[in-house]
A and B are shown apart, each in its own frame.
Chain A
Amino acid sequence: MTILAPIILYFLFAYGFPLDAKNIPMGVVDFDKSSLSRSLIDNFQSATNLFNVKQVVGNYPALDKSMDLGKTHIILVIPPHFSKNIKKGEPVTLQALIDGIYPNRANLISSYAESIIGSFRDEILEEFFLKHYGFSDQTDYAIALKVSAWYNSSFRSEDFIIPGIVVIVMMFFPPLVGAISLAKEKETGSILNMYCSSITKSEYLLGKMLPYIFISFINFFIFLLITIFLFKVPMRGDPFTLMIVSIFYVASTIAIGLLIAVLVNTQIAAILITSIITLVPAFLYSGFMVPLTNVGEGARFMSYILPCTYEISLIRKIMVKGASFAHVKNDVIVIVVFCVGIYFLCIKLFKKRLG
């Protein structure tokens, strides 16, 4: 179960993170009902997987409450005389009502909608110029963009998301397992055996960590294989550097749990504290979903003290970019220092006596 549980979560994330389909539920209020307005709606419907036009209605009340209930995230309002005005050569204004509950989603929806409306606008202008002036001004833009995305030319999200998932899932269980293993002995009193014995603190803590490091590393290795062979994420860099550094990474995740168990005396407190500082922060602050540049001052502190931040940066650089050691050495140093540092902090704070 200890090995199986992370694998279940890995697959949940790997399949659950959306790749290309967005399927944004959309409603349209079409006051115009002309062939032109219908072709605009068609442009939205046919934009691959972006919008899912659920309802096209002729008046507001029919869509009333649909956004309140979360059934549509954008409502496009096509004004009356839309096509008449365009044919007359007059400017028209569409209205886009967007659900702002999730601001980042709202921004995306708005920019998708704008790009579809933008190309619709260009078409109309081009036609207009051709008809009235005999030339199409639109084609002569001043700047043409030439885009090249390195390492991942088609923006495959798998290459971005899945290496991150490997790291995140390793942040879920090992700290908790580490925390319980020590807190349990402290709470049940079996730690007294250790107090009485001749074993040193460092030996004891290392002994607690080693089996879990081994199990976690096996987990990590399985994830790596699935990532490469099932999800076809390239391994462009040196897999041995990645694996050796990852031993330090899994060790540091376990050490976080041990450190918390050193500080508190009950298992329940250890469990709750560990899960609060690892589960959600690993998602939000590690650079996994949110780029680090978007994490504000207050939360940046969390980003810096989570080892997964550095491991995510490392695994992406090695797997996808094929970065050489010189370019990942900062991440490597931080991970190793973290691991050794937390371990020594545990030894320092761990008292081999009662009270």
Chain B
Amino acid sequence: MSGTETKGTSPAAPDLTPHPPAMPVEHPAPDDSLGGEEMVLNMGPQHPSTHGVLRLVVTLQGETVKSIVPHVGYLHRGMEKIAEGMTYNQFIPYTDRMDYLAPLSTNVGYILAVEKLMGITVPPRARVIRVMCCEIARISAHLLWLGTGALDLGAATVFFHTFRERETLYNIIESLTGGRLTTSYPRVGGLCRDLPPGWTKQVADFTASFPKVLDELDNLLTGNTIWMQRTQGVGVIGAPEAIALGVSGPNLRGSGVAYDVRKTEPYLEYETYEFDVPIGSKGDVFDRYLVRLEEMRQSIRILDQALRRLPEGPINIDDPKIVLPPKKGVLTKMEELIQQFMIVTEGFPAPEGEAYHAIEAPKGELGFYIRSTGGKSPYRLHIRSPSFVSLQAIEKMAVGGLVSDLIAIIASLDPVMGEVDR
């Protein structure tokens, strides 16, 4: 790790700069009981370590991976086609089901693309709340990755600790949105409702207690000899190859490229928040692990700043053609009733044109491309999901390694199939 990285605060945390002493990574020559013959192994689509329905056809010689062919599409629901028959707001629930580990972040990514196309800027309070949504989603997604990734390599304890913290986060998400998994919280032009009473206290309690837990998790794994042997020098990808493949997010930063959309193309005033972009140096599984661990600390920093600056004020833009009127008005006033009726049944037209907007989702650059011909629904919606692109790198990382390392590599890429297949 280099440059912007900050170390864990616990006194027992090992020094991470430079890498802990390198473990021998050469493995003994595998036993050649097949007489040099190759074996084709089918892994998935139902396999616990593929985190969903990913199928890999692996050609092995002994235990060495000779070639690997990924098959995706088992979770295809035709979201891009469905979007063509819906109003812009109607599509929000579908974005929950893309990266279902960080639905708040996917919601915000989609809404920002629509708002870019329509030329909308939401009020300050909505911007800060959206930033908090994105960072809560990032911590929650990284915690799941950490727990299951460690579980895949046999470290079961970590899983229970991360899921306890995720439970707290899901309670926070539930009191904000009413749902734990399917949030559908933002709307075009703002948010569907304001913060519930006591919500900021819930978040403040979490940001106060979580760094200690993170240090514990850090202690459990970072200096652990077994963990280091399983992850160091495994699944290496260099920066030039990763860039040429379009890999983004923590997977690219693990290879030492400080590309973070929040820094390079700051949306929602991310340029006014103080946070660092951690990067790795070797591009192996261990570096990607360190990067994600540090990103959770940075998300806590952002959450703290957002809590301090959270302004009072409206959460929606003042445009009755786009934003639903308050329910009380709908039940008592004719005009509001008509407004609600028109928005729900007819939607609102977007200007003709095309727009692409990217956000830094927990998995990397999540982009929505919208082609509008002026109607209430997109003529074409394309979702550039980071997991889909990252999965391409699996061949570069796994070929030549051992089949058991493949498990570590899949976990370190952190793909979520809902987003790959859409």
Whether A and B are associated in the same complex: the answer reads no
A: which residues have CB within 8 A of B?
Answer: none
